[in-house]
Chain A
Amino acid sequence: MTGSWDELYRENILEHYKHPRCQGTLDDATGTYEDANPLCGDRIRMDFKITDGRIEKVRFSGTGCSISQASASMLCEAVEGRTLEEVRAMGREQVLEMIGIDLGPVRLKCALLALKTLKAGIYGLAQWPGEEEGEEGG
């Protein structure tokens, strides 16, 4: 046991889970991609619109636990307006920093699913964030 649930379920996670930002789909998406975590069935779809090398708009939809849904919400909020280079450089560390908690290997995948899905959709990267450049995987 690594602590109480207060630590795991910080206010910001529950807040994003209950009031997700950027939830939905885009009619004018330039790309869309869906992925799932076969271990637990979490499913995320990312619709994004890229204009002039930037993510102009991004929306997520899907089902899953609070960690997967809240991290999708936070990620979408964080990447809107960013350049493709900036988003490509994002990895596990940035996601963990965003959600502000430390996670075991199973829940880590819940947190990383949104970024994995987005990167697969934009860059065709199939790996889990953190596994692409010789970093230790989740």
Chain B
Amino acid sequence: MSSPTGTRGAATAAPAGFDAKAVRARYPMFRERGDSLVYLDSAATSQKPDRVLEAMDRYYREINANIHRGVYRIAEEATAAYEDARRKVARFVGVTPRELIFTRNSTEAINLVSNAWGRANVRSGDAIVLTVMEHHSNLVPWQMLAEATGAELRFIPLTPAGELDLSALPGLLADGRVKLVGVVHVSNVLGTVNPVAEIATQAHAAGALMLVDASQSVPHLPVDAKALGADFLAFTAHKMLGPTGIGALYGRRELLEAMPPFLGGGEMIREVKLTGSKWNELPWKFEAGTMAIAEAVGFGAAVDELNELGMANVWAHDRALAAIGYERLAEVPGLRILGPGADRRGGVLAFTLEGVHPHDVAAILDRTGVCVRAGHHCAMPLHDALGVPASVRASFHCYSLEHEIDALVAGLHETRKVFAR
């Protein structure tokens, strides 16, 4: 596992032995559409390989049954498939299955913490430290908790280069009132790789817990939750080749044991009387109701796929494309790339084009067959801090190819022509 800060350094060469063209051939979306699909929005959601679709299809066709209940064979097979997926996902981020809770997505994972842990542990006068570059999913749940408890929110600011200004952190932690520090590992807009382990060390020294929003890191680079110093780690399957509707929360075991449940209902109980209940053991205490079983199976298959590719290769490929894209985009007149230099970011490039609103850029790119995202990318405070109302974002994954960057750059030149008329 590479260290979170050890991911810096220029990587302009694609990893040896990693054939992105062959990888791309495993995706029905790309096979069916050929080169006409230029998909540069993997930070929003990744495409899905055959392996994931087949695993989910097989589950429904061959072993569909509700889990943890039936004693008949297919129910046992379904339960085994679900729990096998949990083991794979847990191992993928270096934790035990007992500490790995399936959720709907990262947002629900963070809401689980802000509700179950937050309501039990955060009081008026306490503080939560977040950063200015959080996705709304790691901001709004804490705003809701602050509103409900009277706790205070504090923010690590940005440097002009689009990185976290860690010189502010000791001051934010100084009064000992901070209960939790929540940080995005890789920014979904800037691509900045934040020094999470360093922040966690300071948070722990100040008596605070560390929550890591790993939505954009677990899909792209080797992540070891414990090496990062995370007490909680949230991520989601659909950005890592898996299906929508399933995500995961890692929580340190003692914390999860001590937390009350999030949602009440079936499966999360051990014993129910009319006037009260005893909770199930981990991780099922936090999995109320029938879960997204097929999606969990698909999540496990996505992890198999990523393991086969090798996360070091995926990361090197992403970063090689980011470096090429950074260079090529810089050649477009009037284009400003947001965030740090190519050597300090993941496979995400957000930018503005002078005189053309990002929606117009995306609309014209769409006409040339290029899919990019335009808007605030669920990070409005970050855009405020950068002084732009919105941006265009191109993002890569293991199946992205250099010719897609060519198509993007050509489309941007077209866009400039349209608006120069």
Contact = CB atoms under 8 A, between A and B. Distances in A.
Q: Do A and B come from one complex?
A: yes
Contacts of B375: 39-41
A5 interface: yes
B421 interface: yes
Interface in A37-79: 39-43, 63-67, 69
Given A3-B367, A4-B367, A14 B359 contact: no
Nearest to A66: B360
Contact of B414 (A3, A5, A65): A5
B259 to A, nearest CB: 32
Contacts of B252: none
B364 A9 contact: yes
Contact of A5 (B363, B374, B390): B363
Contacts, number: 56
- Dominant SS among interface residues on chain A: mixed
Interface string B359-388: 110011011110000111000100100000
B16 interface: no
Contacts of A3: 367
Nearest to A13: B360
A65 B419 contact: no
A41 B364 contact: no
A101 to B, nearest CB: 11
Contacts of B368: 5
Contact of A9 (B360, B376, B390): B360
Contact of A65 (B357, B380, B383, B421): B357
Given A40-B390, A41-B376, A110 B418 contact: no
Interface in B141-181: none
A9 B359 CA distance: 12
B418 A9 contact: yes
B341 interface: no
Contacts of A110: 359
Contacts of B421: 11, 14
Nearest to B364: A5
A84 interface: no
B389 interface: yes
B357 A66 contact: yes
Interface residues of B, number: 22
Contacts of A14: 418-419, 421
A99 to B, nearest CB: 14
B414 to A, nearest CB: 7
Contact of B390 (A1, A8, A41, A66): A41
B367 A8 contact: yes
A92 B297 CA distance: 45
B194 to A, nearest CB: 25
A4 B414 CA distance: 11
A65 B369 CA distance: 20
Contacts of A88: none
Contacts of A64: 357, 359
Interface string B229-269: 00000000000000000000000000000000000000000
A19 interface: no
Contacts of B357: 63-66, 69
Contacts of A107: 359, 363
Interface string A105-121: 00100100000000000
A64 B357 CA distance: 7
A63 B389 contact: yes
Given A5-B414, A39-B375, A65 B367 contact: no
Nearest to A18: B419
Contacts of A67: 359-360
Nearest to B365: A5
Contacts of B389: 41, 43, 63
- Chain B CB within 10 Å, residue with most, of A11, A65, A67: A65
A6 B375 CA distance: 22
A42 B364 CA distance: 18
Nearest to A62: B389
Nearest to B357: A65
8 contacts: A5-B368, A8-B363, A8-B367, A11-B421, A39-B375, A41-B389, A64-B359, A66-B419
Interface of B: 356-360, 363-364, 366-369, 374-376, 380, 383, 389-390, 414, 418-419, 421
Interface of A: 1, 3-6, 8-9, 11, 14, 39-43, 63-67, 69, 107, 110
List the 3 closest pairs (A to B, CB-CB), nearest first.
A65-B359, A65-B357, A5-B367
